[in-house]
Amino acid sequence: MIPVCRLDDLPAGESVRIDTTPPIAVFNADGELYAIDDTCTHQDASLSEGWLEGCLVECPLHAASFDLRTGRPTCLPARRAVRTHRVTVDDGIVHVHVAAEVVAVVASEEEGTAA
Amino acid sequence: MKTVTVVGASLSGLYAARELRAQGFDGRLVVVGDEPHRPYDRPPLSKDFLTGRSGEDRLALSDAEETTELDAEWLLGVRARGLDARGRTVLLGDGRTVSTDGVIIATGASARRLPGCELAGVHTLRTLDDARALRAELGAGTRRVVVIGGGFIGAETASSCAGLGHDVTVVEAAPLPLVPQLGPEMAAVCAGLHRRGGVDLVTGTGVAGLRGTVAVTGVELADGRLLPADIVIVGIGAIPNTDWLAGSTLALHDGVLCDDGCVTALPQVVAVGDVARVGGTRAEHWTSATEQPRVAVRNLLAGHTAETVRPLPYFWSDQYGARIQFAGRRLDTDTVRIAEGGVTDGTPDEGGFLALYERDGRTTAVLSVDRPRPFMRARRELGRGVTVAEAAVS
């Protein structure tokens, strides 16, 4: 579980990028909080800088669009989904619960050895 | 329409095939490609692919599932060499013919070459095979690299080579690179990125010739200077691939001439992507190659120009760790001002900048370096035909 920011610092329509490996973007879509992997699956671009409309975020480079609820692309050129992560708010602080498989990847990279 | 043939298996060809199926065409779909490869994305070739940051698996534009869904016949590694006068038969380089009811021309463009290009060590960068060859050579120790041409391909390639630790010089014949695209003020700022990236930029002189007998040893400049080189990369533009249409009835002039719905003089022949001169303009932009096929296919299936396409020009470039994005139609008489961020000593500040091109109080185009979010907002406003001055700076 990673603390992200104060809820007050993430108003509706805004997003924040956290520097995990890989980076994660947290969005406030009209009051609902979502977290997805930040990097567009088409080409290297930060989705936290994208265009947020309802539950969709449009990549700022080539206009691929992703559904924040599922991580799935809703139009080309992206074809692969981004991972989604659970978000909670405790004591006014936004937390991201990094999806399990990401933690596993990070752990093995840190150990520097193959399992 | 029972059979449609897409000639060209790159970005616009694949998008055309997708559109055919998406718009309900359920007949025979033939895709002809002169390269042996399945459709792949070219923008990474000069960047992450060249530096080894990403591999070939990241270039694929399609996967097995989609390939099955498209249900097309892929004739790869074979060049189209002709189209009959009525546009009903595509002739192939290996002697085969494809009888067809409709044709989508998506043959793209080829890298322009210099005399002397046959020397070892001289490269162009347009195709996957080009990039593979260059990448292999760049991996063999530190070299002296001369890039001829300071356009986007030249700058991106120079940036990648410098990032790999090579000693890089860029030669540009004009006084500044990218002036036609960005205008002199902003072109000067982007030229500053070369300096920041540790690359020498030689401007205002053309290339007299390449030196070397078997392998290239240097580049001789028009002003008499000689730049020693182990690797030369020629990035001096592209020529639309229309040679194969020479015997057809189609009008060709720096591209296949089409109306503003991508339709040629033959209603069952349309053209898309780099090879298409649509409504008087030929664009070599990734975005137009992906936007034109929808309209072209609609008109092909309708049998006449039912819809026209005039997308807002948009291109981007990644070089020296900076992301340049430009959208709109600027004229040399437009004024340009920086609306956000700034420039210091002729190069973009750490946080980049957003610049607006203006004419009679209206915004005509927008440029950003490392400011994707306001750029995106401004680009959307421009696309809607709204004045973006207030929206972009608020």
CA dist B40 to A42, B10, B33, B79, B290, Å?
12, 6, 12, 17, 13
User: What domains, with CATH codes, occur in chain A?
Assistant: 2-97 (2.102.10.10)
Number of structural domains chain B divides into: 3
Asked if B195 and B126 sit in the same domain, the reply is yes
Query: How high is the pLDDT of residue B385?
Result: 75
Give the total residue count for chain A.
115
d(CA A39, CA B332): 36
Query: How high is the pLDDT of residue B38?
Result: 96
CB contact under 8 A, A60 and B376: yes
CB contact under 8 A, B376 and A44: no
Query: How high is the pLDDT of residue A101?
Result: 66
CB contact under 8 A, A43 and B287: no
B48: Cα separation from own chain's centroid:
16
Q: Is residue B216 part of a domain?
A: yes
Average pLDDT of span B215-243: 97
Q: Is residue B224 part of a domain?
A: yes
d(CA B230, CA B212): 10
Asked if B98 and B21 sit in the same domain, the reply is yes
Q: Is residue B157 part of a domain?
A: yes
CB contact under 8 A, B372 and A60: yes
Query: How high is the pLDDT of residue A107?
Result: 43
CATH number at residue B277: 3.50.50.60
In the 8-state DSSP scheme, what is residue B274? G
Q: What is the DSSP string of B26-89?
A: -SEEEEEESSSSPPB-SGGGGTHHHHTSS-GGGTBS--HHHHHHHT-EEEES--EEEE-TTS-E
What ipTM is given for this predicted complex? 0.83
All residues at 6 or more sequence positions from B149 whose CB lies less than 8 Å from its CB, including other chains? B170, B171, B172, B177, B234, B235, B236, B237
Q: Is residue B243 part of a domain?
A: yes
Whether the pLDDT of residue B388 is over 50: the answer is: no
Q: Collect all residues of chain B within an 8 Å Cβ-Cβ radius of residue A51.
A: 376-377, 380
d(CA A9, CA A93): 9
pLDDT mean across residues, chain B: 95
Range of the domain at B198: 113-234
Asked if B148 and B106 sit in the same domain, the reply is no
Output the CA angle B375-B376-B379, nearest 5 degrees.
85
Q: Collect all residues of chain A within an 8 Å Cβ-Cβ radius of residue B41.
A: 43, 77
In the 8-state DSSP scheme, what is residue A9? G
Average pLDDT of span B139-162: 96
Note the pLDDT tens digit of each residue in B253-279: 999 999 999 999 999 999 999 999 999
Q: Is residue B308 part of a domain?
A: no
Whether the pLDDT of residue B137 is over 80: the answer is: yes
CB A82 within 8 A of CB A37: yes
Asked if B349 and B258 sit in the same domain, the reply is no
How many CB pairs lie under 8 A apart between chains A and B? 35
Asked if B192 and B244 sit in the same domain, the reply is no
Asked if B245 and B229 sit in the same domain, the reply is no
Asked if B135 and B228 sit in the same domain, the reply is yes
d(CA A75, CA A56): 11
Q: Is residue B20 part of a domain?
A: yes
Q: Is residue B244 part of a domain?
A: yes
Q: Is residue B309 part of a domain?
A: no
Last residue of a domain, one of B200, B234, B268: B234
The secondary structure element, H or E, covering residue B156 is: helix B152-163
CA dist B335 to A12, A25, B314, B331, Å?
36, 37, 19, 9
Q: Collect all residues of chain B within an 8 Å Cβ-Cβ radius of residue A52.
A: none
CB B392 within 8 A of CB B381: yes
Asked if B192 and B279 sit in the same domain, the reply is no
Q: Closest residue of B to A42, CA-based?
A: B58
Last residue of a domain, one of B185, B211, B234: B234
Query: How high is the pLDDT of residue B140?
Result: 86
Note the pLDDT tens digit of each residue in B14-59: 999 999 999 999 999 999 999 999 999 999 999 999 999 999 988 9
CB contact under 8 A, B41 and A46: no
Asked if B174 and B230 sit in the same domain, the reply is yes
Place of tokens 């060049």: B79
Asked if B202 and B246 sit in the same domain, the reply is no
CATH number at residue B326: 3.30.390.30
CB contact under 8 A, B380 and A51: yes
Radius of gyration of the CA atoms of chain A, in A: 14
Asked if B47 and B149 sit in the same domain, the reply is no
Q: How confident is the model at residue A29 (pLDDT cuts 50, 70, 90)?
A: very high
Asked if B217 and B126 sit in the same domain, the reply is yes
Note the pLDDT tens digit of each residue in B100-128: 999 999 999 999 999 878 999 999 999 99
